[in-house]
Structure 1
Amino acid sequence: STDNLPLPVQADVRDWLWDKLVAQYGEAEALTIGRSMHEQATLDLRVNTIKGNREEVLAKLIAENTSGVTNITTTPYSPIGIRMPNRLNIGRHILFTEGKIEVQDEGSQLLSYLVAPKRGMMVADFCAGAGGKTLALGALMRNTGRLYAFDVSEKRLHNLGQRLKRSGLSNLQAQVISSETDPKLKRLNGKFDRVLVDAPCSGLGTLRRNPDLKWRQTPQDIAELNVKQANILARAAKLTKGGGRLIYATCSLLRDENETIAEQFLATHPDFKLLNAAEILAQQQITLDTGDYLKLLPHLHNTDGFFAAVFEKQESAKPEPKPAPESAPVAEA
């Protein structure tokens, strides 16, 4: 038995990480979290509602299941998710090649519902990566409005291009930016109804899928990420229009990357207020109450570890200053 080993060894994490988890969750839950990261993650699929519906896709997957797998089910929280037990390779599956399904963790699917984009809105995915969440947002917008995917990596956005072709979406525009301070963002200040910041983070919520992360990350890395997270969120705030919403999300378990960033943001941005995540989900018939913030943990929700906060910009916020004439020196974005 491992029961008499030191607790960080039982949890299979480095001492610094163990100390942070204990400070946040207490010893018992920290140990449960550590152990839950050894469980195999499920394979979650998102049904692309532009091209199909969950009942039809689920029926097809069950009908052709010849391996005797009995537990192909709907996801408990996401209304568009299907949970597969095994890491099946669905890359060649007709449902995938036709764009009816994408691989996406249920937690990530729920994040798009938390953004709650409506038809005809202007929406930005500010750290789009390969665009899994962007595509989910586009489907929720029913392919209307305008959806921007920003990222600093051309390669990641190229991958999004491949997925976009399958998705059937035509409301999406991908744009490479040099950093969050790229001057080309300036003309978009105050334009967006929804801005999602799925921030660069430690990824410690995804250890079931990426176990090596816990050995690679150091406290110094976390401190550097915190600076980046705060800067990106502050820049994204400028893109948000009065009455619009800014959503900050990570796949981290650490308060330093989550609540602390959200609290600092609110303290320095009095024109934003925190909205209750559970209420936003409830408005979309999703019953999941983790308080003001969305906080998902593998041992409680069978998803990756996720955190999200929704901020709303006050209508009375003064309008963005008019851009200076072209000849004037360009101010910082």
Structure 2
Amino acid sequence: MSRASVRGRLKLGKWDLKVLLEVLVFGEEYKPFQVAKRMVLTKYGLLGTSKDRVFTAFLYNIWRLQGLIDKIICQVLGINVDKLHPWLRALLRLYTYQKLWAHKEHPDMTEWIEKYAPKVLREKASQGELVLWERYKGRLRRRKPPIDAVEEKFLVSRFIYEKLVAFIGRRETENLLSFLRDWVPPIPLRVNVLKASVEEVLEELKSLGVRAWRSQRCPVTVFAERGFDIKRLKALQEGKVIVQDEPSAIASIILNPKPGETVVDLCAAPGGKTTHLAELMAGKGVIYAFDIYPDRMERLKEVVRRHGVDTVVEPIMADGRQAPKLLGEEVADKVLVDPPCSSTGTIAKNPDVRWRINQEDLQKITQQQEQLLEAGIRLARPGGLILYTVCSLFREEGEDIVKRVLLKHPEVELVKLDKPYTQSPVLPGTMRAWPHKHQVTGFYYALLRKKA
């Protein structure tokens, strides 16, 4: 049986196409996509192989271009991609990327997809999907659909682009998006100082041949160059480090919980900030950790155990907005409100974020965020602190919410933040970490104090 060859050395057959499409299908259901990819490739024994490297490059580019690709599919086929069978949708995304972006570098991949696609569809879909596949293939050969120039240049939706222009202006937006288009962020690791020192972690990374360095802003953050198997890091398995962005670690340091205090974490899973708060409390006091998702809560419990802070953290499976009813009001010294958000600050490491947010979703998210912040205010005792954070680039999820809440709640006041990042351009006293200025995930912070 003849098989396609990538760059003349990698042999690919039907089984390989099925695996690649399975990653795309599973990646729609399971987030983040990197984990979905790793799970499927591990299942088929491909993780770390030469095929893994080629597949990862294809998958990452498909996810980066997904919004453009989906528009093209809709234009060519006249059908919304969401209405397509998952396996056909995955196939059309792969084929569109190959034909319009990768064909010059990998011409043999086009032949490989066209040869084995019908066989995979017969197994995974129906005759109707085969008909749509043949129709799409023929139409795409005949014409290249128009592509939004802004979306193709910056690899984000027009919606994100226009939101940012309205917030920080066109020049700053294009500087930010140009940086995010090309930036490959290092792996950020936060050291659990109850179990290890920064020096110890750096030494282990060095012994593995990994280039690593300290953060200049966060005393417990280490950066490691990408390209190594993080599972080889014993410190990770032993709870001495956790993968966590520098701005996330900074959040817990800003809130600064003390040993013996009562802390509420309203959206705690999967546990990165919760464990850091517990470490700062030296294992003394209590953290009520709320979350509504069973799988994420199980992950939190496992992370808490591994980090050795399970005596401090009390997981509560409930919506954080119900916390004042469950715990009572004015019971907490410190409250962390880190609600679900658009995740637009994480675009560099989560390329699917570039396309998925829209106005309807944003309105739903901001309503929930504001309600969670108000719950946090009710929980804080007089003199207590409430830290509101989101990994979003949108003012709608940050400054606009805080402004409304301050007007509605005269019992709270802003505590000025301006380090280690920069003050917000529209609400001084609150702070933003910008990817293009600070080389980190985009993040927003507002620290509130309930007046005594």
- Sort the TM-score into its range (normalised by shorter chain): 0.7 to 0.9
SS in 2 for 1:222: helix
Q: 2-side partners of 1:179 and 1:43: how far apart? A: 30
Quote the residue 1:326 is aligned against: none
SS in 2 for 1:273: strand
Q: Give the drift of 1:56.
A: 2.1
Quote the residue 2:167 is aligned against: 24
Matched, 1:159 2:276: no
Unaligned runs of 5+ in 1: 282-286, 316-333
Q: Give the drift of 1:82.
A: 0.5
SS in 2 for 1:277: coil
Taking the TM superposition and a 5 Å limit, the aligned residue runs for 1:220-299 are 220-278=360-418, 287-290=420-423, 292-299=429-436
Q: Give the drift of 1:93.
A: 2.3
Q: Segments of 4+ in structure 1 off by > 6 A?
A: none
Q: 1-side partners of 2:241 and 2:365: how far apart? A: 32
Q: 2-side partners of 1:288 and 1:98: how far apart? A: 31
Contact 1:43 1:87 in 2 (8 A): no
Percent identity over the alignment is 32
TM norm structure 2: 0.63
Q: Give the drift of 1:100.
A: 0.8
Change beyond 3 A, Cα 1:232–1:238: same
Quote the residue 1:118 is aligned against: 258
Q: 2-side partners of 1:182 and 1:95: how far apart? A: 34
RMSD: 1.7
Quote the residue 1:331 is aligned against: none
Q: Give the drift of 1:34.
A: 1.2
Q: 2-side partners of 1:9 and 1:192: how far apart? A: 48
Quote the residue 1:330 is aligned against: none
SS in 2 for 1:20: helix
Matched, 1:36 2:179: yes
The count of corresponding residues between Structure 1 and Structure 2 is 299
Report the AA paired with residue 310 of structure 1.
L
Quote the residue 1:310 is aligned against: 447
Report the AA paired with residue 431 of structure 2.
L
Q: 1:175 pairs with 316, 336, 341, which one?
A: 316
The one-character-per-residue Cα deviations of 1:278-305 (angstroms, maximum 9, x if unpaired) are 3xx5xxxxx4443521201111111111
Change beyond 3 A, Cα 1:121–1:179: closer
Contact 1:42 1:87 in 2 (8 A): no
Matched, 1:11 2:154: yes
The one-character-per-residue Cα deviations of 1:158-189 (angstroms, maximum 9, x if unpaired) are 1011111210112111110045136752x332
Q: 1-side partners of 2:227 and 2:175: how far apart? A: 24
Report the AA paired with residue 432 of structure 2.
K
Greater relative CO, 1 or 2 (CA 8 Å, sep 6+): 1
Contact 1:266 1:273 in 2 (8 A): yes
Q: Give the drift of 1:256.
A: 0.6
TM norm structure 1: 0.85
Quote the residue 2:92 is aligned against: none
Report the AA paired with residue 226 of structure 1.
T
Q: Judging by fraction of residues, say which structure has more helix.
A: 2
Change beyond 3 A, Cα 1:179–1:145: closer
Matched, 1:196 2:339: no
